[in-house]
Amino acid sequence: MAGGMIYRLSTDPANAAFLDIYRQAVGRAQAIGDSRGYLWHAGIHGAPNYHCWHHQRRRNFPFRVQTFLPWHRAYLLAYEQALRDQVEDAAVPWWDWSATPRIPMAFAAQWIGNEPNPLFDFHIRLTQTSPQLNRRTWRSPKSDALPSRWWIGAVLSDTDYMSFSDRVEDLHDYVHWWVGGDMGQVATSAFDPIFWSHHCMIDRLWYIWQVRHGVTNMPAELLDHPLEPFGMRVRDVLHVQALGYEYAETVVLVPV
């Protein structure tokens, strides 16, 4: 991006140029089987490495470890940087389920012209699992409604971090259930390209909550909790600007 800061935009079709760059980057990453590629990064979450943080605890920790939000922020960042190794201006788009109450068009089309759309699905090839996986990802969206602005607003109005974290995680779980298929399973959800845009929206909600209620608003005991395998701690991911990104509605270059 022109000024160096990454601006994440939405999956709205009006952001076609932004989405094209993202699609190119994902396509290149999907073609790489080693630690630079899509398969490797997706495999951090569930199968085969299971680093994702949802309900785990830590020994000697005084209460439930609410690191769902910081862990996924660090995860999204690592993935985005890997994509930028492929296409410099790539950034993850967020899927606002309240504004787009269906699979976004960019992810729903199986073909882009004569080429397969890398945002539609991904061919999982895992030999470390039992049974081994060698198939394409699949979805099965429900007829129920996706989260509404009212639901999101109610969650954002919560002033307590622990309560907010629980409620936004539940909202997150609901969308995983809604999309269904691989997105409905912890083990394989991150292989579906829509996973990243779903979590980008979750991260954006945390960002909006931080703007309203305080960037460092969380129990101090969580701050030094490690976020594996990213080499970061919770305190390292509180300020999105310090991580080099922001959430924007539009970015329009001004010719000079």
Partner 1 sequence: MERHFCTTQADGLSRALFTRADLEIYGIDHFCRSYTARIFFDPPADVPDNADERHRAYAGQFSIFGHSECLGEEGHCAPPPTSERRFDRRPSHPLTPAFKRVVVTDALRRALSISTEVPISLLVAPTDASDEEADPDPGACHARLLTYKGMQIVTFR
- Residues in contact with partner 1 by the rule CB under 8 A: 46-48, 50, 52-60, 64-65, 126, 129-131, 133, 135, 138, 140, 142, 144, 154, 163, 166-167, 170, 172-174, 176-177, 180-181, 184-189, 228
Q: What are phi and psi of 227, to 5 degrees?
A: -115, 95
User: Shortest approach of partner 1 to residue 2 CB, angstroms?
Assistant: 38
Euclidean distance between CA atoms 58 and 67, whole angstroms: 11
CA angle 63, 68, 72 (to 5 degrees): 150
Q: Report CA-CA distances (Å) from 238 to 9, 124, 212, 214.
A: 20, 32, 14, 10
User: Shortest approach of partner 1 to residue 149 CB, angstroms?
Assistant: 15
User: Between 195 and 247, whose beta carbon lies closer to partner 1?
Assistant: 195
Please name every residue paired with 6 in a beta bridge, in sequence order, or none if there are none.
245
User: Between 12 and 169, whose beta carbon lies closer to partner 1?
Assistant: 169
User: Angle between the 149-156 and 194-213 helix axes, to the nearest 10 degrees?
Assistant: 50
User: Shortest approach of partner 1 to residue 188 CB, angstroms?
Assistant: 8
- Cβ-contact 72, 199 below 8 angstroms: yes
User: Shortest approach of partner 1 to residue 120 CB, angstroms?
Assistant: 16
User: Between 18 and 209, whose beta carbon lies closer to partner 1?
Assistant: 209
User: Shortest approach of partner 1 to residue 60 CB, angstroms?
Assistant: 7
Torsion angle, alpha carbons of 39, 41, 47, 53, to 10: -160
User: Between 138 and 241, whose beta carbon lies closer to partner 1?
Assistant: 138
Cα 149 to the center of its chain, rounded Å? 19
User: Between 154 and 242, whose beta carbon lies closer to partner 1?
Assistant: 154
- Cβ-contact 119, 112 below 8 angstroms: no
User: Shortest approach of partner 1 to residue 68 CB, angstroms?
Assistant: 11
CA angle 44, 50, 54 (to 5 degrees): 105
User: Between 24 and 185, whose beta carbon lies closer to partner 1?
Assistant: 185
User: Between 10 and 67, whose beta carbon lies closer to partner 1?
Assistant: 67
User: Shortest approach of partner 1 to residue 192 CB, angstroms?
Assistant: 13
Please name the helix (run of DSSP H) or strand (run of DSSP E) that holds residue 63, with its range, or none. none
